[in-house]
């Protein structure tokens, strides 16, 4: 069956040599998404809460291209520029978007390029 690329114009276009998402079998894997407005290319939000909302909107648009939603996410990897400062505000927004059982999640502090949060997903779509 191989792998198939998924693209959404409602999410930022890749800035490098990568796909927005790939489908392999019953799983969709997204690239890390930042808080970039898909039309302007500008960073949205001055704090981690605003930026997290934009990141989740970008990722939701990619999921939707494959008929998926946030309830189909099984794994997320989250990078925060300032893990200790921003985790509570980020987690509050994240919690507003997901239902139990929550996806498994890895959250780490990372040196990000002029953004406060980057997230990628693995989602499952039963064939």
Residue written as token pair 């978007």: 97
pLDDT band at 76 (very low <50, low <70, confident <90, very high): very high
Containing structural domain, residue 28: 3-124
For 30-75, what is each residue's pLDDT tens digit? 999 999 999 999 999 999 999 999 999 999 999 999 999 999 999 9
Q: Which position has the higher pLDDT, 1 or 45?
A: 45
Q: What is the CATH number of the domain that holds 21?
A: 3.30.1330.40
In the chain, the number of structural domains is: 1
Query: What is the structure's pLDDT at 10?
Result: 96
DSSP-assigned letter for residue 31: P
Q: ∠ at Cα 7 (39, 115), nearest 5°?
A: 50
């Amino acid at each position: 069956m191989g792998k198939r690329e998924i693209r959404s114009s409602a999410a930022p276009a890749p800035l490098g040599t990568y796909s927005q998402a790939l489908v392999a079998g019953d799983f969709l894997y997204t690239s890390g998404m930042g808080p970039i407005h898909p039309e302007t290319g500008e960073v949205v939000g001055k704090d981690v809460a605003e930026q997290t909302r934009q990141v989740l909107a970008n990722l939701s648009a990619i999921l939707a291209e494959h008929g998926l939603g946030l309830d189909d996410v099984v794994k997320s990897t989250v990078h925060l520029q300032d893990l200790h400062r921003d985790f509570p505000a980020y987690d509050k927004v994240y919690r507003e978007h997901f239902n139990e059982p929550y996806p498994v999640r890895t959250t780490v502090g990372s040196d990000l390029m002029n953004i406060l949060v980057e997230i990628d997903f693995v989602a499952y779509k039963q064939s």
